[in-house]
């Protein structure tokens, strides 16, 4: 049985210049959600992308800049809205991996 692994990186606005991500403003006036988020396609596990290796490298890089890596136990409804809004910018398929940065609206 294959396990699907999804990592979500919630990184503060101070890291945006470090990664060069371009955040986009998303809003849902009906529910009152808004904020900035960006998603970067990392690769597909079907095509050899190793999410465990990426996670290990990311932890080391963040540590060298004085930041810590934390696994998300749960997201608020607003964070979930921002996460899926950013990922929806891509034509995605099963086993695709993304790095998501939510910079405001948490």
Residue 69: which pLDDT band, with cuts at 50, 70 and 90?
Answer: low
pTM strictly above 0.85: no
Residue 31 scores a pLDDT above 90: yes
Residue 7 scores a pLDDT above 50: no
Q: What is the pLDDT of residue 81?
A: 92
- 87-97 pLDDT, tens digit each: 999 988 888 88
Q: What is the pLDDT of residue 3?
A: 40
* Sheet bearing 96-102, strands edge to edge: 24-28, 33-44, 96-102
- The set of residues, in sequence order, having a beta carbon less than 8 Å from that of 51 and lying 6+ positions away, is 5, 7, 42, 45, 97
Q: Do residues 39 and 90 make contact, with C-beta atoms less than 8 angstroms apart? A: yes
**Distance (Å, rounded) from C-alpha 63 to C-alpha 66?**
5
Residue 11: which pLDDT band, with cuts at 50, 70 and 90?
Answer: very low
């Amino acid at each position: 049985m294959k396990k699907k692994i999804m990592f979500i990186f919630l990184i503060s606005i101070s890291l945006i210049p470090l990664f060069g991500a371009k955040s986009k403003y998303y809003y849902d006036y009906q529910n009152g959600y808004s904020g900035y988020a960006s998603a970067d396609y990392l690769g597909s596990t079907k095509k050899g992308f190793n999410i465990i290796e990426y996670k290990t490298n990311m932890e080391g890089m963040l540590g060298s800049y004085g930041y810590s890596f934390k696994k998300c136990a749960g997201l608020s409804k607003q964070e979930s809205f921002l996460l899926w809004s950013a990922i929806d910018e891509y034509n995605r398929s099963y086993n695709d991996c993304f790095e998501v940065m939510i910079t405001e609206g948490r």
